[in-house]
Every structure is written in structure tokens, then in C-alpha cells.
Amino acid sequence: MKILVVGANGQIGKQLVHMLHDHPNYEVKAMIRKQEQASYFQKAGIESVLANLDGTVSELADAARDCGAVVFTAGSGGGTGFDQTLLIDLDGAAKVIEAAELAGIQRFIMISALQAHRREHWSEQIKPYYAAKHHADQILRNSGLNYTIIRPGGLMNEDGTGKVAAAEDIRSGSIPREDVARTALLSLDEESTFRRSFDLVSGDTPIADALSALDAPLN
């Protein structure tokens, strides 16, 4: 199965692209938004496609066309205004969900944010970011797609430990980006993550075991 990674040039995205490329069961297509980003992937023998979350649903569907699943790990980042949060983190995600439906893709993994499902725990300083994440997740949940919504804690650039805590409600914590990428990879075919959302931080349980133990009621 070929996986479209949206946000492939990002810090989680790049690690996930390499994991997928190295995996015997998957092929990967890296969605990038600038032509100059293509050579990095070309040199590694990885297919890329140029598309922008500012674009139309039909352009995004064209980018996704021969894929069997989408992982959305894009984000406008802390350096832009909340207008971009609205347009990329919320509407960009909504457009990719529509595009997946248009392209006949069933499986969709969203990288959201810790506690995006609980308004009472949103940080005052970045409430619009949490609102964007919350509503993108809701749109995905209400779609016909087979979703997994991963809500990681504060992202770190240190090496992954391969061990996490994954549950419906984890109030705080952090996690290396490598472990988030591996959790997305291992979720793709793990049925216990199908139509499920969970918070994710560093912990004591190997990722595969933490995912297969996700037996809480659907949320």
C-alpha cells in the first residue's frame, strides 16, 4: 500500500517518510509544497508530489490518487499568525479529508495535539491552535473514513525510546518526534487504532503493545 504523507518535509513527516520507505509492506509518496524540496526526496529514491494546502480539494485529490492511506502531519507552525492556523491546520486538514474521500481512500491518520478533545485543558496562549486541531479532528471523526487521531504531547527532537503511554485522556507530557512517527507507522494496519483517538506521550510500554492495548470505548 502506498501512503501519502502530508507535511512530508516537516520534522515528524521526514522521519515517517523514511520509515515507510524502509518498510517492506509500504510505499510512500511525500507531499511537499516547494519544488526545491523535491531533490532531498529524489536523492533518497523517494517519490514526491507537489501540492499546497492552500490549493483546491481536487488538486489535493490528484496528489493522493494512487495512495491507500493518508497521514496528515502538516501544520502552519508557531511562526505564522492564527489566520494561517485557521487556513492550514483546520481548513487544510478539512480539504485533505475531502480529497481522500474524493480519491476513494479509506484510511486516514491525523497528527493532532494532546488534549485537543478537551476544551477545558487548552492553553490560553494558543487557544486558536487547539480550536483548529479540535475541529479538524471532529471533521475527520464525522467523515466516513477509517481514522486514527494521534494527539501527541510536546514534541522533542531527541532520539525515540520506542516506549509510550497511549490513552483517551493524558493531561500532560512530551514525546520525541521519532516516537510519534513510529506510532503513526505502526497504527496504519493496527485494527485496535481504527476509528479511535488517543493522547500520546513518552512512557514505559513498547509502541506496538500500547497500540494493541487501546481497548477503551470508541471516541
Ligand X SMILES: NC(=O)c1ccc[n+]([C@@H]2O[C@H](COP(=O)([O-])OP(=O)(O)OC[C@H]3O[C@@H](n4cnc5c(N)ncnc54)[C@H](OP(=O)(O)O)[C@@H]3O)[C@@H](O)[C@H]2O)c1
Euclidean distance between the first and the last CA atom of the chain, given in angstroms as a whole number: 27
State phi, psi for 178 to the nearest 5 degrees.
-60, -40
Give the pairing of strands 107-111 and 163-167: unpaired
* Residue 40 Cβ vs ligand X, minimum distance, rounded to whole Å: 10
Q: Is residue 129 flagged as an active site residue?
A: yes
* Residue 201 Cβ vs ligand X, minimum distance, rounded to whole Å: 10
CB of 61 or CB of 113, closer to ligand X: 113
* Residue 179 Cβ vs ligand X, minimum distance, rounded to whole Å: 12
Residue type, 118: R
Short-list 200, 193, 111, 214, CA closest to 163: 200
Residue 26: CB atoms within 10 A of its CB come to 17
CB of 7 or CB of 176, closer to ligand X: 7
Which is the catalytic residue, given 26, 40, 129, 147? 129
List interacting residues with ligand X (CB under 6 A). Answer: 7, 9-13, 33-34, 52-54, 73-77, 88, 111, 113, 152, 154-155, 177
Residue nearest to ligand X (CB): 10
Q: Which residues are catalytic?
A: 129
